[in-house]
Amino acid sequence: MNEAPVFDTRAALIARAQGYQSTEPSFARFLKAVAEATDPEDLAMYSAEELEARFRKSYGRLGKRELANHNVYVVPPERLGEAEIVEVFSADMPFIVDSVLAAIRARGGVIRFIAHPILKFDPATYRVLDAPLPGSRLESFLHIEIDPLADIVQREAMKGEIDDTLTDVGRAVAGWRPMLARVKRVMSEWHAHAPKAPPAQVAEAMHFLGWLAEHNFTFLGMREYRLEGEGPAAKLVPVHDSELGILEDPSVVFLRSGPNYVEMTEQHFAFLAEPAPIMVTKANIRSRVHRRSYMDYVGVKLYGKDGNISGELRILGLFTSMSLAAPNTDVPLIRKKISEVLKQAGHAPQSHAGKALMNALDTFPRDELFQISEEQLFEFATTIASLVDRPRVRVLSRIDRFDNFVSILVYVPRDRYDSAVRVRLGAYLAEAYDGHVSAYYPSFPEGELVRIHFIIGRSGGDTPRPARAELELAIGELTRTFTDRLLFAAPDPEAVAPSPDSASLSAIAPASGSGLMIAMSSRAAATPWRAS
């Protein structure tokens, strides 16, 4: 390993590249591009000689993809302790680096080193160029080193994961402009033939679609559905050749009914019967493009010339970081819900209660604001606003309209919260809702409380509906410390009682496991962090 200062390796590698300018100009340009596109700290892990030898092998693979969209290589270590090498050659396009890194991590890879030069490449001569020429292209070369994999099975799984990921990336990038055009066509159709829906809702939905197209949404897939039949026999049927992006693959289905993935659910009939022309919710599959999170699903009703519903345009993607940074009051659909909640509450904007409610709405999770009803948002926001003056345990649960997950906002004392508490809370909620912890998002606002947003995934059956008081009592118990239990188990100071023996101490020690079997202290009501 090279112990030279961090920036010396890059300079030495560039100097070595310059030495090949007269004899191997293409390799010289390649090596220089690698040096300039790699973090100096990563380069400092090796000597310039070691790096040149390593990347000469990479150069030998350059251009071998011919008509393939991409080539993926997973190369095992030559010697014990050396890194596994993952290399990807593809046309330059967005999302390559973050998508491939996420694919590697999804298969247990631990990343040590990354290089990602973009090369001007002539496929006819296999040469790296100084400047573009007719017929040349921009070639993305991604070199990643990871901890050694266990065996060939894991190596092939890693290669397959990256290959599938890059296929999705290519489809999403190729379909981006057509997807934007299709969204704009929906808006034009609504203008030309007014939907039989409340005009105010149609107008807000059009603002929302326009907002999505203004770099607020990463469009990943789109598919059109035609409504066939009437009444109970009605169904949504995919329209052939309407698929774009990752939904080009007809086998990709992103809605679930129980354990099965389906094209249509009972909840879709309810959506079609509603006056609202649009809905925003979550798909049941994670994105392999850009970031590994559950995709956002936007259902847009399609209307015929008579204004009646004729089908649905389903849009899959991810809200961008720019959209998530926008104030809630600037986001179409959400701003209407916020306006209705404020109107229903009736507080003066500059009053203490008005400011507390506005803060609750400003900090409410963005995904939740898209999906929650106005009635439930009013209930949750007013409850959260009351915590400013009276901080206490609160559990606010919302069951997904497709019955696939439960979204739960949990408020607990800041000084009682740590990762162990979070694990206990998640295990308890998963058991209470007969599911599993799919995701969690801690938040640390000002004040005495921590908010943890749990997503409890489910895989079938009716979702349990435990009472809020029951949940809050159990969560309160799970956040109590051993000292709390000692204090609350202590005898009345005016009474005479023997000191607790080891058996009685063990009875009040914090319980392990999910917390469903916690023995509730008879003095729980005395705690300042009680649930009620």
pLDDT, average across residues 364-385? 96
Looking at the domain assignment, is residue 344 inside a domain? Answer: yes
Residue 487 pLDDT grade (very low, low, confident, very high; cuts 50, 70, 90): low
Residue 12 included in any domain? yes
CA–CA gap between residue 315 and residue 318 (Å, rounded): 10
pLDDT at res. 169: 98
Instruction: Give the pLDDT confidence score for residue 444 in this predicted structure.
Output: 92
Show the CA angle centred on residue 236, arms to residues 232 and 237, nearest 5°.
130
Query: Does some domain include residue 70?
Result: yes
Q: Domain boundary residue among 310, 326, 342? A: 326
Please report whether residue 271 resides in a domain.
yes
Domain limits for position 122: 6-149
User: 476 and 359, same structural domain?
Assistant: yes
Span 233-254, pLDDT tens digits: 788 899 999 999 999 998 899 8
- Helix 48-61 vs helix 25-36: crossing angle, to nearest 10: 120
pLDDT per position as a tens digit, 117-142? 999 999 999 999 999 999 999 999 99
Same domain, 310 and 340: no
Residues 318, 340: one domain?
no
Check if the beta carbon of residue 226 is closer than 8 Å to that of residue 237. yes
Q: Verify that 516 and 369 share a domain, yes or no.
A: yes
What does the block give as tokens for 28? 């010289």
Q: Which of 114, 149, 184 is the last residue of a domain?
A: 149
One domain for residues 409 and 497: yes
State yes or no: pLDDT of 324 exceeds 50. yes
Q: Are 173 and 93 in contact (CB under 8 A)?
A: yes
Sign of the alpha-carbon dihedral angle for 523, 524, 527, 532: negative
Task: Kindly give the interhelix angle for 25-36 and 6-18, rounded to the nearest 10 degrees.
Answer: 160
Check whether residue 322 and residue 337 sit in a common domain. Answer: no
User: How many C-beta atoms surround the C-beta of residue 116 within 10 A?
Assistant: 17
On whether both 364 and 300 belong to a single domain, the answer is: no
Round to whole Å and give the CA distance between 55 and 70. Answer: 19
Q: Look at residue 352 in the predicted model and tell me its pLDDT.
A: 95
| Domain assignment present for 168 | no
pLDDT digits (tens, 9 = 90+) for 11-68: 999 999 999 999 999 999 999 999 999 999 999 999 999 999 999 999 999 999 887 8
Same domain? For 316 and 349 the reply is no
- Taking each helix axis as running N to C, give the angle between helix 334-345 and helix 352-362, from 0 to 180 degrees, rounded to the nearest 10: 160
Shared domain for 128 and 44, answered yes or no, is: yes
The residue count for the chain: 532
Q: Classify 148 as helix, strand or coil.
A: coil
Total domains present in the chain: 3
Helical H runs in 346-418? Answer: 352-362, 366-371, 374-386
Q: Are residues 144 and 235 in the same domain?
A: no
User: Which residue shows structure tokens 């693959």?
Assistant: 249
CA distances from 419 to 117, 429, 477 (A): 39, 15, 16
Domain CATH number, residue 283 = 3.30.450
The share of the chain scoring above pLDDT 90, in percent, equals 77
Question: Is residue 166, in this structure, part of any structural domain at all?
Answer: no
In a domain, 507, yes or no: yes
For the residues 303-311, what does the mean pLDDT come to?
95
Among 326, 357, 372, the domain boundary falls at: 326
Residues 519 and 432 in one domain: yes
Same domain, 343 and 423: yes
438 belongs to a structural domain = yes
Q: At 180, is the pLDDT very low, low, confident or very high (cuts 50, 70, 90)?
A: very high
Please state which of the ranges 3-12, 100-109, 209-218 shows the lowest mean pLDDT. Answer: 3-12
